[in-house]
Structure 1
Amino acid sequence: MKNLTPRLILIGLAAVLGLLVLFSQQVGLSDERPLKLGIDLSGGTILVYQVEQQAGERVDLDELVSALKRRINPEGVFDITIRSVGQDRVEIIMPEEMANQAEEVKRKLTEEGSLAFRILASTNRASDFPAYLNRLAPTSRDFQPIVESLPEVGPTAGGQEAFRWAKLGEVVEATRAEAGAPTSIGARSITVAEAGWPPNRFRGLTAVLESAEGAAIEATIDRNTEDTLYLDRPLGVDAGAVTGVRVDYASGPAEITDPIREWSTNRYEGLPVLLEGVRDGEAARVTGEVASNTADTLTLTRDHGLDVVSSYRIAYNPSSIAMGGDGASISPEAAGDAVVRGVRVPSQPGTTEYFVLYEVPRDTQDVTGDMLERVYPQSDEQMRPAVGFDLDSIGARRFGSLTGRYRPRQEGAFFYNLAIILDGEIMSAPRINDRISDRGIITVGGQGGQAAEEVNYLIDILRAGSLPVALQTPPLQEETIGPTLGEDTIRKGVFAITVALALVPIFMIVYYQFAGVVSVIALLLNMVLLLASMALTGSSITLPGLAGLALTIGMAVDANVLIYERMREERDRGAPLGQQIRNGFGKAWSTILDSNLTTVLTGIVLWSVGTEEVKGFALVTIIGLLWNLFTAVFVSRTIFELAYQKGWIKRLTMLRLLNRTNIDFVGPRRYCMVGSALVIALGLSIFFSRGGTEQQGSMYNIDFTGGSLVTVRLDDEELGGQTPAARISTVRDTAGAVLPNVTVESLTVSGEEERGEAPRYNIRTTEQSPDVVQEKVLEAFSESLVRVELISAEPIPAEPDADPDADPTGLEGNRYRLTFNLPQPPSRIADAFAQILASADPPVASPRSQFRVANPDAPPNDVDQAGETLVLSTSLAGDRVQPYLALLGTELREDRDFLFERLENFGSVVAGETRQKAIVAIVASWLIIIGYLWFRFQSIAYGVAAVIALIHDVLIALGAVALAGYKIDLPMIAAFLTLIGFSVNDTIVIFDRIRELRGKSPNLTPRLVNEAINVTLSRTILTSLTTWMVVMIFWLFGGEGLSGFSFCLVIGFISGTYSTIFIAAPILIEWIGKPSKKDAGALATSR
């Protein structure tokens, strides 16, 4: 008797670990739901970014979209949509359950990923670069505001710069919002020329005025402009008596809130911070450590004890800029031999950024990130997390030349430092001890988990490569969207999936009885392990993805059916029960291994060279097949052997579909081949007639063609006051009646619902003309569209003691508070008002110079943020302004352009280059199939026959899809890939039986092939039946969300069964068949 205890422990451990992953939230192991729903089921976040480009520069948005996919969705497991919008923007849609990763995704989107290796300049060689010590040269877009405030860097005598400046990896977030001595003081205002304060970000904070006598005057800030603070009380002081002004930060016992910041969440976790302020009436300085941070607030690990925080500074992490083995760091206090310069940032008052001088290498020593061959986790000499890298042959040669040139030549010689620069920022600067050629490491800042996260982040950036063009921050648009599928579609889809999930286990139990129960146990464990694996990889669950899981059950029983049919054969031969079990698993193993391993190898190729869309499918397929081998073979056999040893089963009983048949399948093979060719030709002609080879052809849906997008607000009452999901369906149906291939997304921004604003919708269509879309939407929603209204335009009283010299432009002379029923961007209202002034009678000269429109609540880095309340400041007299404001109100109500917040074209999700890569990956997978079957069956004919059969199935399904009027989208691409796996599995089962029956005979006869097909016919029908039942249920009851996906598989599975019998097997006869004399007559007759 076998000792099954180790096996049972392994199975139990796998089940427990899988369940712990799936229920990690319930048992307190995680705060997040392990399985994340996709955009179609849960909605998500939409981000729109402006591409940073020079005037006249042409940007390849397809290339940018591909690069962004490699960066934020390299394995294709996340349900993330990335597409171009217009000529200079990109749109990213993330699922709702990725909201906690939004900041990391934004950071990955906006990092250029440009890596370079440079030699740091040294104070020992100051004579080499005297012209550079007091100047900075632009090395990245981030430094432009700093560079503009400094003298230009002239060329050297040789015409090229010998040195440049790079920013240190962390910014020193320094001191208070101070700006020196005031240039003007009114009774309740104080102005500092060119202070650069963010408008209205200091409301409610304390302004501290320092006088020559040392006394400080404090007042609360009501509001502020870029250079003026308006206070809550008269100051009663002269301008000459005030020497400086600062704004103290809001703080709690363990918090500092800086309203002008826009930090990434937890960017400074674990870093030291220096605080200055007042305690018990006296100046004090304390140090602390950042526990966490939000966009504008630092939370410390302990109370700082200060009554007032007047300044703070986040210090460098000493490990972030390693200078050598001793771990010394570059910083203002410990610069070593490096040339360090601190510069105030004009756009961020109180912030200092530090730069280090480096040498520009020769072309033969210029090493960049394009030369990276491999990037991986590593540890540095002090066992801290780091990023290891290997260079290609060109990079290794240049790296060796660079480090060889600057290595120490003798004992005690000077050591140079190699700066590793990412996007113009120095990540680390290790000391060069000797020549290095093909590999190295990059150290990162932070400690513990934070350092590990930074390593993973950097690896993702470097593996994805640099972006062809940068994205501007912050995003132009950041909003929440609802589920893209309607309520009825989701309900029907979930119902069909539930029925399918139940049907296959019921069928297996009824047909195979005890063996069926074993297969169901194996299936349940398979699903637990597969879902747990998807949770660990972060895969998103979409409606087609759920259907794929249900389909996995239908296909997973294939291995069980093979085993059980082998057991039946052993039982029919009179073998005892133990031998039935042993031979059933033993004889089926070769077939199971070949069919699964072929598909796994195909998946590996697709994952290695395919696009992100294909990679996600390949990864889930590989994981599912590996777990299927474990559960269907290992787990099932363990249960059978346990039941046999315990005496729980005495004999195997199961139903029988067919008795032994003797059908001549290969006889009409020529007719079948001709018939298949005719059907394929008909299908392809329909495919081509629908524009199958054209990007904008009617065969493709919006994922492939792109189209037009319009954003509208619609009145709930006009839509019938339905639930949000039902409203999406209503909007889609209404728009779909006048526009082709419509998809709809609901949009919300925080606070909109509470303010009672009408809901907004993105309506997407394959119609390429925005003008046509505008007309059709007006036609379909004429009664529902919400119009923009100017509710009021109230004059803002002037400051009673305001100094007229503080407003040299005169635009603060008349100010009006404009209130709208819907949030409006200042630029849009400014355009409309300028048009009114220009078309007035008489027209206003230079209308743009006569006014400005601003959102008083907008952050400094997003001054055009939409708001319901805007402020119009103008130099025009009040009696002239009022008629223009009345005209503005009329214009807003009547101008139909104001009915549409967005109206523009967008690109396809699948770019042209992406399609080519997908085709290359699929062809490569076919070559793998040919190669593996050639190796296993000792003849290339087997591989070629299998590939011809699967190409046949794909073309048959493609023609049926074209004939039925379905469109190809990303879920249908997954259906075609699924069909390839099914077709190969089915073919290999018969090939394996042919090999078994043929033995060592050199002949392959029609009789032998017929026998192999007849022997496996029951298995072929059963496997096809279980999978076909699942997809048929999807097609009949799954609604439009699963219709195209399931129809493709309904036809494909029928074709797959047919091609295995009537295409693949006969090809072997035509290729390698050598009929015996006995078969010669029959073969001649059949031909």
Structure 2
Amino acid sequence: MLFVSFSTALLFLVTLIWYFTASDDRTKRWVGLACSFFILINAVFSLFPPAEKIKLGLDLKGGTAFLLELQGEPSAGALDQAIGVIRKRIDKFGLSEPIIQPMGKRRISVQIPGLSESEKAAAKEQLSKVAKLEFRLVHPDTDKLLAAIQSGQEKIPLGYEILPFSQAESKEGKSESLILVRKREEMGGKYVRRAFRGFDEVGRPTVVIEFNEAGAKRFGEITSNNIGKRLAIVLDGEVKSAPVIQTAIFKNAVISGGNMTPKEAEDLASVLENPLETPVKILEERGVDPSLGKDSIISGINAALAAFASVVLFMVFYYRLAGIVAVVALLVNLLLLLGLLAQFHFTLTLPGIAGIILTIGMAVDANVLIYERIRDELEVGVNVKNAIFIGFNKAFSAIFDSNVSLIIPSIILMELGSGPLQGFAVTLVLGIVANLFAALVFSRNLFEWLLSWGMLRKLSMMKFLHKPNFDFIKWSWITVPAAAILLAVGIATFFLRSGELLGVDFSGGDSLTVAYKQAVPVAKVRQALEEEKIHPSLLQYSREGNQLVYQVRYGEGEKSVNVLKEKFPQAGFSLSRMDSVGPVVGDELKHRAGLALSLGLLAILIYVSLRYEWSFALAAALGQLHDVLLAIGIMALLGKEFDMYLIGAFLTILGYSINEKIVISDRIRETLKFKGANLSFKEIINEGINKTLARTIMTGGTVVLATISMLILGGFVISVFALAILIGVLAGMFSSHLITPALLYWFHGLAEKKRKKISIPTQAV
């Protein structure tokens, strides 16, 4: 299977390279069609059955809630260690979107989206398995002695014990036998650096255990001193594998046999890599409904459809036939993205949808960018065929740079981030891959076929601006100080009111279980609490028993129950239980997120510096910070509570912002290259901005249309999320024209002054 996947990917890569290098038009068309057909078929097959491939998160579908308790006398850091281990076990790549919170000093609340009965059993094992790993030598006469011991003829030898040994019996199932092993371990699990699923020489799943430096040395000593003997790999008192040592091994250990499925191998690797220091017991298990509520989900779907329809109508109305090509490419982009997400078994939540919105916005932008370049060529008299060819080539650098500048920090987020941040980064990277293919291969190939069929003798488009000539730098003495003042007020408000603005996701609070006689729609419950300035988190009905479960900030628990009693007397609400709950985003997650975002911004700065120059990079980075900080500040001024949904919105703004600035920087760089000798740097900047002004308004307009649809038609949670994105998009459009260019102009001026100062020769005395 692995060989087939690798061969298929290699074949596709070769075909793709062939497409870009082919010089013959006919060959290029057919190779491009083959590429598109191949990847679309793969995406469609990846999506079926949809319910199994892309799961909906706790906010959209609900799932299963577990209440865990540490056993014995846990140490001071045992709770944090257990939370970290459980998160890594069930959400290794940030795609499962669980919610994990400490409750009191020894309990942990875990919610996992949509589990089937078989998945529940696997989840329970992942949650509670201690995963104590030992390597022990097997008695050389284990089979003979076991038979004699079982018949009463022999006793268990001193220093040995009998352990269960799970091994393959047949394809239908497994049998459990016994094996005689030493009580003393030769080596423990503390030497494990990581564990992962592998395959043996015939393609059966195995678990590969990779040791740290000390572990590799110790394992080498054990195996070199015991060649010909059997070494048992023991997990929680059960022998998983007992191979004969054939030679000294100084690298990895492998657990094989047992007729493991790939999923079982992955789960085993996960617990081996993340052992629990303190045993955990599952106290409670219950099903929970979606936290957004049915009404909010329906509103969100309607808003998303309206947003998509508005973008489609706009593109077709403005770009006509080219707009239809863009819409088809957009649908292909979405299909490819969903296919890729299905292959990763992605769990879709509202923050994940934020990543999809960003990639769709960038897909529209890529098409607009190409079409505006084609228009430029048509206006100077180039024929349609050559205009399309030149337009795609000239747009390539901006599309490539803007996408790469997002891929680099996304990869850093995937490596260093955790939980929702990782999920957002994975969505973004996959979305960019889909975006690049749809824009640079599929849409181009579609144009090539339309040309060959004689359907593109003329390519007409509407024109929004005719040769604009605005002096953007002229107003910088007003716009930059005004933006700085607004930023200062907003950020000051955030820090002064952070205690009331940070929601349960960041500060913890009260977790309430409220009994009821008559259910009230979640949207109405949320609205009633919001009217009293109480912002509920994780508001959902339990599927077992008449219980409503939600979380509020510390001290608001009893008040919230009284509000519900007063607003809905017919519901018969009564408090069943109230617990103290810790934040979803713990200190480690905050630290890793801060580090990942900081390194991501630094990576963008370095990349843009290499592709352009340091003044472009610094101006773009400061503009990017302006956009997200302005969104944070305005949301703080509006008194909106900060939760994980808003974090998704702010990450989306960061991505959209750098895309805007890269596109404009690309035009400024081009103008500098061809007209630098005849124009001042101020004139070069203004001309570069004016040439991209129509594209910025078109792209920004489509995103604004989409977010306004979500703002009006979405439920409370979705509308707040859309409001943050709307503010960020408008801030990005503003800064890309009136802040970043001004900073670029000033930085360039400083560099020129320094250069002139260095070049002035020293006068002899």
Q: Could you say if the C-alpha distance between residues 422 and 74 of structure 1 is closer, same or farther in structure 2, counting changes exceeding 3 Å?
A: same
Match of 1:1018 in 2: 694
1:918 aligned onto 2:593: yes
Partners of 2:64 and 2:115 within 8 A in 1: no
Q: Which residue is 1:789 aligned to?
A: none
* Larger CA deviation: 484-493 vs 983-992: 484-493
Deviation of 1:165 after TM superposition, in Å, equals 5.2
Where is the strand percentage greater, Structure 1 or Structure 2?
A: 1
| Cα gap change, 1:118 to 1:769, in 2 (>3 Å) | farther
Q: Could you tell me which amino acid in structure 2 is paired with residue 36 of structure 1?
A: K
Which residues of 2 match residues 348-427 of structure 1 at below 5 A?
Answer: 356-361=181-186, 366=187, 368-373=189-194, 375-379=196-200, 384-404=204-224, 406-408=225-227, 415-427=228-240
| 1:103 matched residue in structure 2 | 121
Q: Please say if 1:428 is aligned against 2:447.
A: no
Identify which of 346, 362, 386 aligns with 1:579: 386
- Note the 1:766-785 alignment, pairs <5 A: 766-768=553-555, 784-785=571-572
Q: CA deviation at 1:956?
A: 0.6
Alignment-derived partner of residue 561 in structure 1: 368
Please name the residue that 2:146 is paired with.
none
Q: Distance in 2 between matches of 1:942 and 1:952?
A: 15
The answer to whether the 8 Å contact 2:350/2:645 transfers is no
Q: CA deviation at 1:91?
A: 1.6
Q: TM-score, normalised by structure 1?
A: 0.62
Equivalent residues in 2 for 1:57-68, closer than 5 Å:
57-68=75-86
**TM-aligned CA deviation for residue 390 of structure 1:** 2.9
After TM superposition, the score normalised by the length of structure 2 is 0.87
Instruction: State the AA in 2 paired with 1:11.
Output: S
Matches within 5 A, 1:971-1050: 971-999=645-673, 1005-1050=681-726
**Counterpart among 3, 6, 22 of residue 47 in structure 2:** 22
Candidates 430, 440, 460, aligned match of 2:270:
460
Over 3 Å counting, the alpha-carbon distance change for 1:489 and 1:618 in structure 2 is same
Q: CA deviation at 1:478?
A: 1.6
- Shift in Å at residue 1074 of structure 1? 7.8
| 8 Å Cα contact 1:379-1:386 kept in structure 2 | yes
Q: Give, as a single letter, the amino acid of the residue that structure 1 aligns with 2:623.
A: A
Question: How far apart are the structure 2 equivalents of 1:164 and 1:1040?
Answer: 64
Separation in 2 of the partners of 1:50 and 1:134?
39
CA distance in 1 between counterparts of 2:739 and 2:530 reads: 42
1:265-664 matched pairs, under 5 angstroms: 271=169, 315-316=175-176, 331-332=177-178, 340=180, 356-361=181-186, 366=187, 368-373=189-194, 375-379=196-200, 384-404=204-224, 406-408=225-227, 415-446=228-259, 450-463=260-273, 465-472=274-281, 475-543=282-350, 545-546=352-353, 549-550=356-357, 552-664=359-471
Structure 1 residue 638: deviation in Å?
0.6
Secondary structure of the residue aligned to 1:93 is strand
Q: Which runs of 5+ in 2 are unaligned?
A: 1-24, 143-153, 757-765
Partner residue, 1:168: 164
Deviation at 1:655, TM superposition (A): 0.6
Give me the whole-angstrom Cα distance separating, in 2, the residues matched to 1:81 and 1:741.
Answer: 18
Task: Provide the rounded CA distance (Å) in 1 between the counterparts of 2:430 and 2:342.
Answer: 12
1:459 counterpart letter in structure 2 = A
Contact 1:543 1:1041 in 2 (8 A): no
| Alignment equivalent of 1:728, drawn from 522, 529, 537 | 522
CA distance in 1, matches of 2:184, 2:641: 56
Whole-angstrom CA distance in 2 between matches of 1:74 and 1:1076: 50
SS in 2 for 1:74: coil
Q: Equivalents in 2 of 1:1054, 1:551: separation in Å?
A: 14
User: What residue number does 2:632 align with?
Assistant: 958
C-alpha displacement at 1:979, in angstroms? Answer: 0.9
1:741 aligns with 2:417: no
Aligned to 1:225: none
Partners of 1:520 and 1:773 in 2: how far apart?
A: 47
Q: Structure 2: which amino acid aligns with 1:931?
A: I
**Aligned partner of 2:609 among 934, 947, 950:** 934
Asked whether 1:1069 is paired with 2:735, we answer: no
Q: CA RMSD in A?
A: 3.1
Q: Which has the higher helix share?
A: 2
What amino acid does structure 2 have at the position aligned with 1:1044?
V
Task: Judge conservation of contact 1:1031–1:1049 (CA < 8 Å) in 2.
Answer: yes
Q: Is the 8 A contact 2:69 2:107 kept in 1?
A: yes
> Relative to 1, partners in 2 of residues 1:96 and 1:439: Cα closer, same or farther, differing over 3 Å?
closer
Q: CA deviation at 1:648?
A: 0.7
Cα-to-partner distance string for 1:415-468 (whole Å, 9 max, x where unaligned) = 33333233343222223333321223221411xxx43332222223334x2234
Aligned twin of 1:42: 61
- Other-structure match for 2:759: none
Instruction: Answer whether contact 1:544 1:1042 (CA < 8 A) is retained.
Output: no
Alpha-carbon spacing, 1:99–1:921, altered in 2? closer, same or farther (3 Å): farther
Alpha carbons of structure 1 residues 12 and 711: separation in structure 2 relative to 1, 3 Å: same
What amino acid sits opposite 1:416 in the alignment? K
| Aligned mates of 1:57, 1:526 — CA distance in 2 | 50
User: Percent identity among equivalent residues?
Assistant: 30
Distance 2:423 2:249 in 1: 37
- Give the Cα separation in 2 of the matches to 1:402 and 1:604: 39
How far 1:632 moved relative to its partner?
Answer: 1.3
Q: Secondary structure of the residue that 1:611 maps to in structure 2?
A: coil
In the TM superposition, what whole-angstrom CA distance separates every residue of 1:209-234 from its partner, at most 9, and x where no partner exists? xxxxxxxxxxxxxxxxxxxxxxxxxx
SS state of the match for residue 739, structure 2? helix
Task: Name the CA distance, whole Å, in 1 between partners of 2:588 and 2:516.
Answer: 38
Superimposed CA distance per residue, residues 1062-1086 of structure 1 (whole angstroms, 9 cap, x where no aligned partner): 3323333322348999xx9xxxxxx
Distance 2:568 2:452 in 1: 72
Written as runs of structure 1 = structure 2, the 5 A alignment for 1:762-911 is: 762-768=549-555, 784-785=571-572, 900-911=575-586
Question: How many corresponding residue pairs?
Answer: 716
Q: Secondary structure at the match of 2:280?
A: coil
Give, in angstroms, the shift of residue 709 of structure 1. Answer: 2.1
- Residues 995/424 of structure 1: CA separation in 2 closer, same or farther (3 Å cut): farther
C-alpha distance in 1, partners of 2:665/2:411?
23
Whether contact under 8 Å (2:197, 2:262) holds in the other structure is no
Rg larger for: 1
Superposed displacement of residue 60, structure 1: 4.1
1:64: how far off? 2.2
Deviation at 1:679, TM superposition (A): 1.2
Could you report, residue by residue, the CA deviation over 1:57-103 in whole angstroms, capped at 9, with x for unpaired residues?
43543332232121111222223222122222212222235555222
Q: Is the 8 A contact 2:137 2:231 kept in 1?
A: yes
C-alpha deviation, 1:561, in angstroms: 0.7
- Structure of greater relative contact order (alpha carbons < 8 Å, 6+ residues apart): 2
* Corresponding letter in the other structure for 1:742: P
Counterpart residue number, 2:105: 87
Question: How much has 1:509 moved relative to structure 2?
Answer: 0.6
Contact map agreement 1:570 1:584 (CA 8 A) in 2: yes
Distance 1:109 1:517, change over 3 A: same
* Whole-angstrom distance in 2 between the partners of 1:612 and 1:542: 12
Q: CA deviation at 1:1011?
A: 1.4
Aligned to 1:702: 504
Deviates more, 1:489-498 or 1:655-664: 489-498
User: Per the alignment, do residues 922 and 370 of structure 1 end up closer, same or farther by CA in structure 2, a change over 3 Å counting?
Assistant: farther
* Residue number in structure 2 paired with 1:1059: 735
Check conservation: 1:767, 1:773, Cα contact below 8 A. no
Partner Cα distance (2:556, 2:733) in 1: 45
Q: Which moved more, 1:81-90 or 1:521-530?
A: 81-90
Cα displacement (A) at 1:51: 1.8
SS of the equivalent of 2:292 reads coil
